[in-house]
Structure 1
Amino acid sequence: MTHPTLQPLFVLLEQAEGHRDEALARQARAEKALAAAQAQQAQLHDYRIEYENRWGAQFRKGVTMTLMQCYQDFVARLHGAVDLQGQQVQRLTNEFERMRGETLAAELRVASVKKLIERRETTMARQTERRDQKSQDEMASRAAWQRLADRGHVSLSQM
């Protein structure tokens, strides 16, 4: 059973753990979105290289000017898509880093509250030990005085 004065701290701990769990969930979602964006970026990059290599071989054989313009337009759009995806990856990387920072801060809050509870419990245990020791010392002193009084050495009025 916990001491009633610690109850607000346990409520605070529960709240901090809830915030930490929410931060962890947001971080996991951000990490998943980042991984998906990175995979898409890699696919676009690989497709662009494959497309350029395939058409490079075709160009050595010769193509019409119209076909060359279509190729250049498509490659330009493909480069744009790769660049846009790179920007998306960068944005999601920043978001993930921000979420990681929030998670770390939430973890620190939980650890701080736990440490505070631990210190309070330690302080209360020491106070209880001191009180118990003082009580035992008083009882031992009274018993010693009583033994002396029973032997007739000291009268109870002298105590």
Structure 2
Amino acid sequence: MTATATDTLSLLLERAEGERDAAARALHTAGAQAEAARAQHGELAGYRQDYQQRWTQSFAQGTTMSLVGCYQSFGQRLNQAVDTQGHVANHADQRLLRAREALRQAELRVAALRQLIARRQADAAKAAQRREQRATDEFAARAHLRRTAHA
């Protein structure tokens, strides 16, 4: 394998490894964001459940219509917040899946380039071995001719 081909493949491998490392960092970031989004969704849903339980107890004791209106208004906004955060968490999970796939593809590219480099190096070693064997055979043949010519 020529030095230029080796340099080119090494450069491609280095670039692919850089892309793989970037994909790994992106996966880590996406994982942290997805986890945070799911946690926030869980907290909001838990708060909504607590809020509903408190108001159910308050209604049992009697309350005014203005407080009922406040409860309903805040409850609607809380439901919207929970729903919105659920969508955010779903999108974060989708980004996480895409990041995981991007990392897998980047790792496949690195592995393929490493395999190609190893194959090319093995081919170059075989070619060098054949050249050396040919030179040795030629040297032995000339030596034999010289011996037979002198005899």
Query: With structure 2 as the length reference, what TM-score do the two structures score?
Result: 0.90
What is aligned with 1:116?
116
Aligned length: 150
Distance between the aligned counterparts of 1:74 and 1:112, measured in 2? Answer: 57
Give, as a single letter, the amino acid of the residue that structure 2 aligns with 1:75.
G
| Corresponding residue SS for 2:63 | coil
Structure 1: distance between partners of 2:109 and 2:53: 54
Give the CA deviation at 1:149. 4.1
- Structure 2 Cα separation of the partners of residues 28 and 58 of structure 1: 45
CA offsets, 1:62-101, max 9 Å, x none?
1111111111111111111000000101111122222222
Identity %: 40
Instruction: Report the equivalent of 1:61.
Output: 61
The 5 A counterparts of 1:4-153 are 4=3, 5-150=5-150, 152=151
Find the aligned partners of 2:22 and 2:87 in 1 and give their Cα distance. 27
What amino acid does structure 2 have at the position aligned with 1:35?
A: E
Structure 2: runs of 5+ lacking an equivalent: none
Larger mean Cα displacement after TM superposition, 53-62 or 140-149: 140-149
User: What amino acid is the match of 1:98?
Assistant: R
How far residue 147 of structure 1 moved from its aligned partner, in angstroms, is 3.8
Give the CA deviation at 1:14. Answer: 0.7
Please say which of residues 80-89 and 24-33 is displaced more in the overlay. Answer: 24-33
SS of corresponding position for 1:34: helix
Cα deviation for residue 7 of structure 1 reads 0.9
Amino acid corresponding to residue 111 of structure 2 in structure 1: A
Q: Which moved more, 1:104-113 or 1:35-44?
A: 104-113
Question: How far is 1:139 from its partner?
Answer: 2.3
Amino acid at match of 1:83: D
Moved over 6 A (4+): none
Return the alpha-carbon distance in structure 2 between the equivalents of residues 139 and 42 of structure 1: 81
Choose 1 or 2 for highest CA Rg. 1
Whole-Å Cα distance in 1 between the matches of residues 120 and 2 of structure 2?
10
Q: TM-score, normalised by structure 1?
A: 0.86
Segments of 5+ residues of structure 1 without an aligned counterpart are: 153-159
Higher relative contact order, chain-length normalized (CA < 8 Å, sep 6+): 2
